[in-house]
Structure 1
């Protein structure tokens, strides 16, 4: 009984203080055209997913219909051996996800000058558990793409109309 009362009290306190789950940023420019991503780019897919989750945002089929044209100049991910054992086996990898982009109006006026976002993660590696490490690396890259897309959305949210 006490546990229920405590849970109810905590829920009431959180509701009373105005606590809300984090939502996608509110974008002023609602119609967006994405260009420059490869067809099966995980970064492009994640950015599209987050834009579709933003209230009122429409991804347009052509640049002429858009308020903002988002140009992906470079979308790269790499893994580099960061450390190795005395026998030459890789023991640590550095993962990098990089997105270079710019944003402009359909008429060509620059809204965001060419910018680069880079995220880096280090991960231990072992040949004995190579399959598990490959899955871990895939999850880390997915997390990095989610973080990069959120950073892009915050930059787009800073753009005002006109």
Structure 2
């Protein structure tokens, strides 16, 4: 039994450098290439709320600047250009009742610095989720749909933060 534990320990010691060499690392606080970010976004938008929440909890040394402050008070401006939701029927029964739908969510954004240089061109982030549907369970399915949209907004905001952290100034 002792030899087996020793082999397991040795195997783990051999694998540890391989895991770190492949580029794997735990996600920590993102490091942004700017110290301050002005967020220009539609008020009351679920995408805006989720992005602001994620920026506030991202950690690091990023200062988020919001209206009524002026955009030129920050090194960069994140323009949240809008979002759209779509609900597409994927399958129906022979009697025409909906059985499966696909929920689609798209958010658009761009990143510009104080000098007007575009760091990230007008870009989109998309999320899709499939959901079964039953008219007899309509209330429960409405709640499930709302939960799926909340999850999609959270995923989109996380993707946006990763793109902001990976952004770099345009080549001169």
In the TM superposition, residue 91 of structure 1 has moved relative to its aligned partner by 0.8
Q: 2:31 — aligned with what? A: 26
Normalised to the residue count of structure 2, the TM-score between the two structures is 0.76
Structure 1 segment 59-98 matched on structure 2, within 5 A: 59-61=64-66, 62-98=70-106
In the TM superposition, residue 119 of structure 1 has moved relative to its aligned partner by 1.0
Q: 2:53 — aligned with what? A: 49
Q: 2:7 — aligned with what? A: none
CA displacement 1:89-137 (0-9 Å, x = unmatched):
1111110110111110122110001111111111001111111111111
CA displacement 1:39-77 (0-9 Å, x = unmatched):
211111010011111222222133111111111223112
* Runs of 5+ unmatched residues, structure 1: 1-12
* Runs of 5+ unmatched residues, structure 2: 1-11
Task: Number of aligned residue pairs: give it.
Answer: 146
Q: What CA distance in whole angstroms lies between the structure 2 residues aligned with 1:76 and 1:148?
A: 12
Normalised to the residue count of structure 1, the TM-score between the two structures is 0.80
Query: SS at 1:143's partner residue?
Result: helix
Q: What CA distance in whole angstroms lies between the structure 1 residues aligned with 2:167 and 2:79?
A: 15
Displacement over 4 Å in runs of 4+: none
Please tell me whether Structure 1 or Structure 2 has the larger radius of gyration of its CA atoms. Answer: 2
Q: What CA distance in whole angstroms lies between the structure 1 residues aligned with 2:154 and 2:142?
A: 18
1:140 to 135, 138, 148: 148
Query: SS at 2:153's partner residue?
Result: helix
2:40 to 35, 42, 48: 35
Counterpart contact for 2:119–2:168, Cα < 8 Å:
no
Q: 1:151 — aligned with what? A: 159
